[in-house]
Structure 1
Amino acid sequence: MSNLDIKEFNIYRTVSTITKPIADSTHTISQIAFYVVEIISQGGQKGQGYLLSFHYSPNAIEGALKDLKKFVMERDFKINETIKIRQAWEAESEYFGKPGINANAGAALNVALWDCWAHTLEVPIWQLFGTNYTKIPVYGSGGWISYSEQELLDEVLDYKKRGFTAVKIKVGSGSIENDLHRLKTCRDALGNSVKIMMDANQGMKITEALDLAEKARSIGIQWFEEPVANTEFQSYQLLRNKCGIALAMGEREYDLEALKNLIRLNALDLWQPDLIRLGGVEGWRDSAALADAYGIPVLPHYYKDYDVPLLCTIKHPYGAESFDWIDGIIDNQIKIENGYAYPREGAGWGFYFLDKALTEVK
């Protein structure tokens, strides 16, 4: 038996300490919850990986994670066999399709395996892949449509007070005038020293997105995220040619097909890979390599505690998205100062979830 063999595979659920109902243009979210996969090697090293679940399909997610645990523990896998495990799980899951819940489960395991392997090697992830940067621009995310005007101002001004130099605001409320009012209110409060981005979460029609982009241009919008559905590639092409604001998308993708289509149409400015939907570290890095080959900077979706170290290893990182959701339930918050996030110095991803915050899934 090798020290690299997998000894334990544990599954936990945890909830953010700052959870409260929020909404964007397409979803109302009642709880900010996560699932954590924990791997312990025969050598005694521990690795963790988590996926954001909100309140959606807990029985389905837990079922997929339990199936994955049984699949892995019945086979002779080692913690460094991340590609082998991914390929085997994809083959096992193919009957129900490679995208979806099974892919999310496999990705959480992949992230945990990389953590465990890097702890075994006693190096941080960002050193394991080769370091290109030691700090990454970061922006404060939120600006939920469900916020009152005061809640919106409180959030963006708090980000500015904490040293953030960019914030993102949700649009797609159903009223262009309301979206513009919220954006202008934030600009007036923040001044010109803080960049403002807007995110429609695919909730707009092409005509609405064009109208908003045209009217918002004078406010100074850095980029427009997911203005329309992620499959409307020609709409992205039209918007990029006409709206005068950089376009960002990618967070809903489980493979590279959308990125290939958008590259072919010259319809994208910023690529937003989601580490978990893309299957884990290898999928994220494959997408970043493709984006880089065509000069498209990488601006990942949500997972800053993983994305910052990974962004440090590529050629053209644009920045990372920051939420505070796990900060109260982990043992080592990422350092953010003057608009930059710094990768942790510890081995692996550099943090673990607090034991007291975890509820085991059996």
Structure 2
Amino acid sequence: MAGDGYLQEHAIVAHSPTTSAIATGAKHIMKISRITCSAFRMPLKQAVSSSRVTMTHRELVVVEVEVDNGEIGVGWCTTAGVGAAAVHALISGYLAPMLLGSDPRNTEQIWQRLWMECHAAGPGGITTLAISAIDIAMWDIKAKNAGEPLYRLLGGARTSVQVYASAINLHLSMEDLVEQVRAQSSDGYTAFKIKVGRPGLYEDRERCLAIRKIIGDNGCLMLDANQKWSVGEATQRIRILLDAAPLFIEEPLLSDDVGGHMKLRNATGMPIAVGEQLCNRFEFWNYVHDGATDYLQPDVWKVGGITEFLKIAALGAAAGLPISPHGAMELSVHLAAALPNALHVENIFGLNLFDFGATSGPMAIANGRYVLGSGRGHGVTFSAAALEEHKLSLGEAIEREPLYAFS
């Protein structure tokens, strides 16, 4: 990737190290010599809608970290269509220069430096997206240096993981939703997640029961409300969805409302999943501590990368809660394969890296499972030509429709 040139415009180069690396007992202290960052705005093949958001683009920030032996690590984060330019500015203007000369294998040390540097600006959101992209690149280098695939370096609990079919599909008619799930089932998937939050009280119930009929009693059905409801409305609506026997419902309330999720869980008996909107282990701990969730869904490129993801997974393991990684399929397969309490991985149709055009080939998912390979690092290679066409013009206004529609 380093020779492709698509990230060369915003490179931070160490002509002489500005930070001394800490020796770890290794014969060679590896040093970061260059960090390159670029941002892209990728149009989706078609607009997709959940209960709160209509998405037309996916934004992507890619970071390359090169070390003095020529090894290159690649990290990235994505957004729903807002914020990539801000993440790029934070990385290029503030974070990348302070890491030149550091040893990328010291992932915890680097993460703590980035976390404290960004904490006053906010312990989540743009800051953790930026930290994530950098941290993922560091782990890629670390695995490559060890000569191992990332999942094995992280723990190697298994060599294959279940992948479930997911999509932003609330806008689909009943007929189109049924056809979508039938096609996913024909491709070998046995677990599925669909959106809920239609206006009519019984619309969601009818759609869920129709999908249950297709996938059968042994199929796994998950629901996602995308923070649509209040506690009272969610209580009413969830009770009439119980007949579809979902594994869980994701984000029925605003993710800020820990107490509301606890009340809802106790009132309905429906298992609750949260994490897509949470940005660090402290936010996850609030849910775990208060007994407000049954499944944790950290997104590796939102929570601060692999270093923080592992700590969130440890919280879940201590509380007996499964980890169901949110999105980020290309990295989540490594994380799920590494951790004993990881349940499965989400393939969001239309929003994985290949589907929105960032990589040149799809992941080899067969019969709803992905088998991890033996290649070094995470193995993700971006398509330079495809990305270059959609590079963000930083500092210019972006013509777009708002994500959220208010009536």
Task: Tell me the TM-score normalised to structure 1 length.
Answer: 0.91
* Contact 1:251/1:301 (<8 A) preserved: yes
Task: Select 2:82's aligned residue among 56, 59, 78.
Answer: 56
Distance 1:117 1:19 in 2: 35
Distance 2:155 2:215 in 1: 37
Q: For residues 329 and 263 of structure 1, do their structure 2 counterparts lie closer, same or farther at Cα, with a shift above 3 Å needed?
A: closer
Larger deviation: 284-293 or 98-107? 98-107
Distance 2:340 2:363 in 1: 22
1:274-314 Cα shifts (integer Å, max 9, x gaps): 21222111110001011101100111111121111112222
Q: Which amino acid aligns with 2:73?
A: G
| Matching of residue 282 in structure 1 with residue 315 in structure 2 | no
Distance 1:262 1:55 in 2: 27
Task: Select 1:12's aligned residue among 35, 38, 51.
Answer: 38
Distance 1:182 1:164 in 2: 19
User: In the alignment, which residue of structure 2 is the partner of 1:99?
Assistant: 124
Distance 2:36 2:171 in 1: 36
* Contact 2:60/2:77 (<8 A) preserved: yes
Distance 1:135 1:106 in 2: 28
Q: Which amino acid aligns with 1:175?
A: G
By how many angstroms is 1:65 displaced?
A: 2.7
Distance 1:235 1:94 in 2: 27
Larger deviation: 10-19 or 227-236? 10-19
By how many angstroms is 1:14 displaced?
A: 4.3
| Matching of residue 160 in structure 1 with residue 189 in structure 2 | no
| Matching of residue 227 in structure 1 with residue 252 in structure 2 | yes
* Contact 1:311/1:317 (<8 A) preserved: yes
Q: Which amino acid aligns with 1:90?
A: W
Summarize the alignment of residues 346-361 of structure 1 with structure 2, pairs less than 5 Å apart.
346-359=375-388
Unaligned runs of 5+ in 2: 1-16, 18-27, 395-407
Summarize the alignment of residues 1-362 of structure 1 with structure 2, pairs less than 5 Å apart.
4-14=30-40, 18-68=44-94, 70-72=96-98, 75-324=100-349, 325-327=352-354, 328-330=357-359, 333-359=362-388
* Contact 1:143/1:156 (<8 A) preserved: no
Q: Which amino acid aligns with 2:316?
A: A
Distance 2:43 2:375 in 1: 24
Distance 1:153 1:170 in 2: 13
Q: Which amino acid aligns with 2:324?
A: L
Distance 1:237 1:172 in 2: 20
Q: For residues 176 and 4 of structure 1, do their structure 2 counterparts lie closer, same or farther at Cα, with a shift above 3 Å needed?
A: farther
1:287 match: secondary structure: helix
Whichever structure has more helix as a proportion of its residues is 1
Unaligned runs of 5+ in 1: none
Q: For residues 69 and 282 of structure 1, do their structure 2 counterparts lie closer, same or farther at Cα, with a shift above 3 Å needed?
A: closer
* Contact 2:95/2:114 (<8 A) preserved: no
CA RMSD of aligned residues (A): 2.3
1:232-273 Cα shifts (integer Å, max 9, x gaps): 222222222232321111221122233323333322211111
* Contact 1:331/1:351 (<8 A) preserved: no
By how many angstroms is 1:167 displaced?
A: 0.9
Distance 2:111 2:81 in 1: 26
Task: Tell me the TM-score normalised to structure 2 length.
Answer: 0.82
Q: Which amino acid aligns with 1:139?
A: Y
By how many angstroms is 1:193 displaced?
A: 4.2
Distance 2:124 2:44 in 1: 30
1:114-167 Cα shifts (integer Å, max 9, x gaps): 112211222101111221111222211114222233432332122111111111
1:137 match: secondary structure: strand
Q: Which amino acid aligns with 1:184?
A: L
User: In the alignment, which residue of structure 1 is the partner of 2:9?
Assistant: none
Q: Percent identity?
A: 25
1:91-132 Cα shifts (integer Å, max 9, x gaps): 322332222212211110100111122112221011112211
Distance 1:42 1:76 in 2: 9
Distance 2:176 2:59 in 1: 22
Q: For residues 58 and 110 of structure 1, do their structure 2 counterparts lie closer, same or farther at Cα, with a shift above 3 Å needed?
A: closer
How many matched pairs?
Answer: 361
By how many angstroms is 1:47 displaced?
A: 1.5
1:307 match: secondary structure: helix
Distance 2:291 2:127 in 1: 32
Distance 2:207 2:222 in 1: 12
Distance 1:142 1:273 in 2: 18
Distance 1:140 1:86 in 2: 32
Q: Which amino acid aligns with 2:384?
A: D
Distance 1:153 1:3 in 2: 56
